[in-house]
C-alpha cells in the first residue's frame, strides 16, 4: 500500500488536501460567478452541501497533521526547544495571514481615520485560517502545560463535547455583545464570521484524536481495518445526526442550523470521514499517482491564499473575477473559468514549490521583499 512518500509524509493526507483544494476552488468560482437562475436549482443546493465540506476537510486535516507530528515527537513539543518556538511562529503566521486576507484597506491611516464599522467587521472576521491558527496555538500551549499525551487528548475530547452542546446556547447572547468585537468574532456567528471557534474547533480536535488512533496501527492490515471501521463510523454518525434532526422536538433556541447545530456538525464530520476513507482507499490501491497531486496538496496553504484575491479581490487587487463577472455566468461559462483558473494556479504553485525545494534562499528574499513592501505601504499610505 502507498502510505508514505519518500520524505515520510503520509501520501493519503496530501491527496486528501488536493481533493479539498480543488473542491474549494471550484466552489468559490461557482459562488462568485453563477447567475441567479443557476442558483435557484436543486443541483446548486447539492453543490453547496458538497462545497461546504471543504472547510471542515481542511480543519480535520490540520488536526490530523498536528496530531501525527506532535504525538510522534511528543517530547520535543513539551519543552522550550527550537522546534517548539518554530511551531508557535508557524501557527502565528497562519493567524496573521488570515487577518491580512480580510484587510478592507491597504493603509493603517485610512483604517484608523476613515474606516467604517463594516470595515472593522471585515477586518476582525474569523475565517478558516484564523480558526486553524488560534486552535493550533491553543493546542500547542495546552500540550506544553499538560505534558501527558493522555491528559491532552482527554481535555480536547471534553472540550469538543462541550463546544458541540453549548454552541447553540451561546449564540447571540448579551454577554457576547459586551466583548470586544475582535474577541466576539471567535465565539459568535452574528457578526459575520464564517468559521468561529464555536463550533468549528471541534473538527480540528477530532482530527487530533483520529491521529492518536492512527499512530497506534502497526501493520498495513490494521490500517485497512481501521479505515473500514472509520467509514462505518462516518456513515453511522451522519445518519444518526440526520435522524435526530427530524425528531419533532426543539432542543435548542432558534439558531442558524447550518452554522451552530451539533447535528449539522456531526453530519459534515461523518461525510468528511467518508471522503478521507475513500481517498485513503484509492491512494492505497492505485499503482501510481501523478506527482502533481500530492504536490498541490502540500501547497494547499499557498493555493488558499493565492486564489482568494483572484476571485474576490483585495486592497491590492480590486480587478477580480467577481468584479468583472460576478453573478452573470451560466454553468458552462463558470466551468470554463474554473478550468482556466485552476490551470493557472497549478502552474504558479509548481513554480512556488520549485523555488522552495531548489531555490530556497532566493524565495526567502522574495518573501521578505513582499512582506517589507506590504508593510511599508500599510504604514505609510
**Residue 1: what pLDDT?**
45
Residue-wise pLDDT for 323-344, tens only, equals 888 888 999 999 999 999 999 9
pLDDT at 124 over 60: yes
d(CA 51, CA 28): 8
pLDDT value at position 6? Answer: 56
Average pLDDT of 133-140? 95
Backbone angles phi, psi at 329, to 5 degrees: -105, 150
Q: Average the pLDDT over 224-249 and give the result.
A: 86
Q: Determine the Cα–Cα distance for residues 87 and 101; give it in Å rounded to an integer.
A: 21
Q: How confident is the model at residue 7 (pLDDT cuts 50, 70, 90)?
A: low
pLDDT, residue 67, reads 92
pLDDT score for 231: 92
Cβ contacts of 11 within 8 Å, gap of 6 or more? 2, 3, 4, 5, 283, 289, 294
What pLDDT does 22 receive? 93
User: In this predicted structure, what is the pLDDT of residue 40?
Assistant: 87
Question: What are 260-289's pLDDT values in tens digits?
Answer: 888 889 999 999 999 999 999 999 888 788
26-37 residue pLDDT tens? 999 999 999 988
Mean pLDDT calculated for residue range 243-268: 77
pLDDT score of 66: 93
Q: What's the rounded mean pLDDT across residues 297-318? A: 88
* Mean of the per-residue pLDDT values of the chain: 88
How high is the pLDDT of residue 249?
A: 66
User: Which is it for the CA torsion 315, 321, 323, 326, positive or negative?
Assistant: negative
Mean pLDDT (whole number) for 134-138: 96
Q: What is the pLDDT of residue 339?
A: 96
Percent of the chain with pLDDT over 70: 94
Assess whether pLDDT exceeds 60 at residue 245. yes
Q: What is the pTM of this model?
A: 0.92
pLDDT value for 374: 82
Q: Mapped to the 3 state alphabet, what secondary structure does 140-193 carry? A: HHHHHHHCCHHHHHHHHHHHHHHHHHHHHHHCCCHHHHCCCHHHHCCCCCCCCC
The values of phi and psi at residue 34, to 5°, are -65, 145
DSSP summary character for residue 1: -
Q: Find the helix or strand (DSSP H, E) in which 27 lies.
A: helix 11-33
The per-residue pLDDT for range 146-204, each reduced to its tens digit, is 988 999 999 999 999 999 988 888 876 777 778 888 888 998 887 778 899 989 999 99
Number of H helices, E strands in the chain: 20, 0
Closest CA to 123 of 195, 192, 32, 28: 192
pLDDT in tens, 81-114: 888 899 999 999 999 999 888 888 878 888 787 6
Please say if the pLDDT value at position 63 is more than 50: yes
Q: Are 25 and 338 in contact (CB under 8 A)?
A: yes
Amino acid at each position: 500500500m502507498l502510505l508514505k512518500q519518500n520524505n515520510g509524509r503520509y501520501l493519503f493526507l496530501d491527496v486528501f488536501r488536493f481533493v479539498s483544494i480543488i473542491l474549494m476552488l471550484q466552489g468559490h468560482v461557482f459562488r462568485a460567478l453563477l447567475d441567479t437562475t443557476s442558483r435557484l436549482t436543486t443541483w446548486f443546493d447539492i453543490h453547496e452541501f458538497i462545497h461546504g465540506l471543504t472547510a471542515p476537510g481542511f480543519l480535520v486535516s490540520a488536526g490530523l497533521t498536528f496530531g501525527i507530528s506532535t504525538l510522534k515527537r511528543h517530547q520535543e513539543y513539551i519543552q522550550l526547544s527550537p522546534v517548539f518556538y518554530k511551531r508557535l511562529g508557524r501557527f502565528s503566521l497562519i493567524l496573521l495571514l488570515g487577518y491580512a486576507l480580510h484587510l478592507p484597506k491597504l493603509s493603517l491611516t485610512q483604517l484608523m481615520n476613515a474606516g467604517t464599522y463594516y470595515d472593522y467587521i471585515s477586518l476582525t472576521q474569523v475565517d478558516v485560517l484564523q480558526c486553524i491558527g488560534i486552535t493550533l496555538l491553543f493546542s500547542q500551549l495546552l500540550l506544553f502545560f499538560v505534558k501527558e499525551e493522555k491528559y491532552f487528548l482527554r481535555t480536547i475530547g471534553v472540550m469538543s463535547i462541550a463546544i458541540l452542546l453549548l454552541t447553540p446556547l451561546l449564540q447571540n447572547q448579551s454577554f457576547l455583545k459586551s466583548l470586544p468585537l475582535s474577541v466576539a468574532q471567535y465565539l459568535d456567528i452574528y457578526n459575520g464570521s464564517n468559521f468561529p471557534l464555536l463550533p468549528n474547533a471541534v473538527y480540528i480536535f477530532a482530527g487530533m484524536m483520529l491521529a492518536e488512533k492512527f499512530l497506534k496501527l502497526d501493520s498495513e492490515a490494521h490500517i485497512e481495518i481501521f479505515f473500514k471501521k472509520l467509514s462505518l463510523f462516518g456513515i453511522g454518525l451522519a445518519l444518526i445526526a440526520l435522524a435526530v434532526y427530524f425528531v419533532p422536538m426543539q432542543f435548542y433556541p432558534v439558531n442558524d442550523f447550518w452554522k451552530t447545530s451539533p447535528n449539522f456538525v456531526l453530519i459534515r464530520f461523518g461525510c468528511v470521514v467518508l471522503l478521507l476513507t475513500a481517498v485513503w482507499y484509492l491512494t492505497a490501491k492505485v499503482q501510481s499517482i501523478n506527482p502533481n497531486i500530492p504536490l498541490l496538496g502540500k501547497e494547499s496553504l499557498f493555493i488558499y491564499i493565492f486564489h482568494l484575491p483572484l476571485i474576490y479581490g483585495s486592497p491590492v487587487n480590486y480587478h477580480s473575477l467577481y468584479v468583472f463577472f460576478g453573478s452573470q455566468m451560466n454553468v458552462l461559462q463558470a466551468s470554463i473559468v474554473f478550468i482556466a483558473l485552476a490551470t493557472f494556479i497549478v502552474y504558479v504553485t509548481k513554480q512556488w514549490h520549485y523555488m522552495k525545494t531548489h531555490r530556497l534562499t532566493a524565495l526567502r528574499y522574495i518573501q521578505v521583499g513582499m512582506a517589507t513592501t506590504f508593510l511599508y505601504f500599510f504604514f505609510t499610505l
